Structure 1
Amino acid sequence: MSETDKIAIVTGGGRGIGRAIVDRLKADGATVVTCGRGARPADLDPDVAWVQADVSTTDDADRVALEAAALGRVTVLVNNAGVQIEKTVAETTDDDWSLLIGINCKGVFNMCRAVLPLMGEDGGSIVNLGSTSANVADPSMAIYNASKGFVHSLTRSVAVDHGPKVRCNAVSPGWIMTEMAESGFALARDPERAKADSIARHAARRFGKPEDIANTVAWLVSDQSGFVTGQCFTIDGGLTAASPLQPGLF
């Protein structure tokens, strides 16, 4: 299947990593449908379909899938929508739990369940946005960390249960400079010093850009990755490969 034959759903495509994925798949020739809880962003490509929806709600997730299916057979799903709450377990409220787990976990489940039947016998590719936070916990983000562990596990289950017709993989970003990352650094006593220390721990000596993730997603939904499924790809500039010893001291 050529890129121009692909109909792709990207959740949470209004900004940040999601927008970069939308733009990349569109540039590759796919027909793209994206969604978000708010109104259509004014700067979104006019050729990209926008559905105002909350994927944590089953009816909304089904509606996104059906609007995409009206354009033809859905071949790509990218589950990018997510929220971040900066709290420990003791600080987390029931409302925090419902919001974050609803979007980060139930939203991914809802969209997979809605889209899998639409891919049919000819199959397709699903990419879920996980995080390095699923493997090494970021401080004061307890249920966010846990939610990404769910995403990684669900990714493997979808790949095993629905292969070979459907491939399912996850991309685990590290520090990608978006509004969500900025809010994480804001938790530090000295945010600028925390950023400088973090950059020093990256083998790439920089933070990631949304386009870095979009490039990986584009490969995973292409025929070039046809033998790749059930995997979680860490895209973090070498951050989690490094020793915790402070660079320059040894």
Structure 2
Amino acid sequence: MLSLKNISKYYQAGGNKNYILNNVSIDIEAGEFVSIMGPSGSGKSTLLNIIGMLDEPSEGYYYFDSQAVHLLKEKQRSALYKENIGFVFQAYHLIDELTVFENIETPLIYQNVKSSERKALVADTLDRFQMVGKKDLFPAQLSGGQQQLVGIARALISKPKLILADEPTGNLNSKQGDEIMQLFSKLNREDKVTIVQVTHSEKNAEYGSRIIHLLDGKIDHTANA
């Protein structure tokens, strides 16, 4: 599904290159559930943002569904991302002024899905996530776990091929966290959604079918052995 070849990300400081990612190569197959682990500053979130096309590498090659992402213009990259990728963030990133219904609907508006179809898709999603009774509430009226559920519903509404999750349980208590991870596992197993998550949690990482360890911007092959 996607292939990263010799990806580096660095910033120039004086005459030196400060590497955030250094020569990282990863292949991820459709239907995989991959966990990326590593200490703070190891480059996990940068790697996720490059996979999600929110950031560009300084060097290297990125292929998504056989398209050369590194050669695409920003507009083309943005279209590819919106069509294929759903993001779930630690901080939820819900829009405070919008109801649960409207938050979930947002990606469909960007994709120019017509109103009647949008409403039907959101209704189905609310039903699936057992949130019909919460559809007119605003994010501030929800618990952290409920907000993250809305975030996941929003990420899934446009049926992406790939879900990217950045510390998806970071702001939740352990029970809420377990529920979210079980939901990801079910989505991967039953809906065949490919999932890549960044996590500090060994327990959460174990939900993945494979764990990639990063250290100082490189893949730590000793930990991955």
TM-score (norm 2): 0.36
Higher relative contact order (CA 8 A, sep 6+): 2
Structure with more of its chain in strand, by fraction: 2
